[in-house]
Chain A
Amino acid sequence: MKVLVTVKEVAEVEDDFEIADLDVDPRYLEYDLNEWDEYAVEAAVRLAEASDEDVEVVSATIGPERSEETVRMALAKGVDRAVRIWDDDVEAAEFLDVASKVRLLEAVVAEEDPDIVLTGVQANDTGFGATGVALADAVGFEWGAVVNHLDTEGVLEDGVAHVHRELEGGIDEITEIDLPAVLTIQTGINEPRYASLRGIRQAQSKEIARKTLSDLGLDHSAVAGELFLTDMYEPEAESDATYFDGDAGEQAAQLATALREKGVGAE
Chain B
Amino acid sequence: MTSDVLAVAEHRRGDVRDVSYELVTAGRELAEETGGDLHVAVISGQVEEFATRVNREGVDVVHTVDHGEEFNHDVYVQAVCALADELDPQYVLTPNSVNGLDYAPAVANRLALPLVTDAVGIEYDGGLTVTREMYGSKVETTVEVDAERTVVTVRPGEWMVTEADGDAEVTPFEFEVDESAVNSTVTGFEEVAGGDVDIADAEVLVSVGRGIEEEENIELVERLADALGATLSSSRPIVDNGWLPKNRQVGQSGKVVTPEVYIAIGISGAVQHVAGMKGSETIVAINNDSNAPIFDIADYGVVGDLFDVVPALTEEFE
Contact = CB atoms under 8 A, between A and B. Distances in A.
Interface of A: 11-13, 15-17, 19, 24, 95, 97-99, 102, 124-134, 136-138, 142-146, 164-178, 187-188, 191, 225-235, 237-239, 241-244, 247-249, 251-253, 255-256, 258-259, 262-265, 267
B110 A137 contact: yes
Contact of B239 (A15, A19, A188, A251): A188
B192 A239 contact: no
Given A128-B118, A164-B190, A253-B316, A178 B183 contact: yes
B98 A166 contact: yes
Contact of B136 (A95, A127, A263): A127
A130 B317 contact: no
Given A19-B139, A248-B309, A170 B108 contact: no
A169 B12 CA distance: 11
A186 B305 CA distance: 30
Contacts of A12: 135
A248 B101 contact: no
Given A226-B145, A227-B116, A167 B260 contact: no
Interface in B274-318: 282, 284-285, 288-289, 291-293, 295-305, 308-309, 312-313, 315-317
Given A252-B309, A252-B313, A241 B285 contact: yes
16 contacts: A12-B135, A15-B291, A124-B136, A129-B118, A171-B190, A176-B187, A178-B183, A188-B236, A188-B239, A235-B140, A235-B293, A239-B298, A241-B299, A241-B300, A249-B312, A252-B313
A136 to B, nearest CB: 7
Given A237-B291, A244-B302, 12 more contacts: A24-B138, A127-B118, A137-B77, A137-B110, A142-B74, A165-B102, A169-B193, A235-B293, A237-B295, A252-B309, A252-B312, A255-B309
A98 B108 contact: yes
A233 B140 contact: yes
A17 B153 CA distance: 29
A231 B98 contact: no
B37 to A, nearest CB: 25
A252 B315 contact: yes
A188 to B, nearest CB: 3
A228 B302 CA distance: 38
A166 B205 CA distance: 24
Interface stretch (B52-60, B214-222, B227-235): B227-235
A17 B295 contact: no
B135 A137 contact: no
Contact of A134 (B105, B140, B147, B289): B105
In the A-B complex, list the 10 residue pairs whose CB atoms are closest, starting with the nearest. Answer: A170-B193, A188-B240, A252-B312, A248-B308, A256-B316, A137-B106, A134-B105, A130-B105, A133-B105, A241-B301
Contacts of A252: 302, 309, 312-313, 315-316
Interface stretch (B28-36, B82-90, B167-175, B251-259): B251-259
**Interface extent on B, as a size class?**
35 or more
B73 interface: yes
B9 to A, nearest CB: 15
A262 B283 CA distance: 11
Contacts of A15: 288-289, 291-292
Contact of B101 (A145, A239, A251): A145
Interface string B158-198: 00000000000000000000000001111111111100000
A204 B144 CA distance: 42
A243 B143 contact: no
A175 B106 contact: no
A134 B135 contact: no
Nearest to B238: A188
B179 to A, nearest CB: 13
Given A16-B291, A134-B109, A227-B114, A171 B192 contact: yes
Contacts of A229: 141-143
Contacts of B255: 169-170
Interface in B231-251: 236-237, 239-242, 246, 249
B317 to A, nearest CB: 5
A171 to B, nearest CB: 6
Contacts of A95: 143
B184 A144 contact: yes
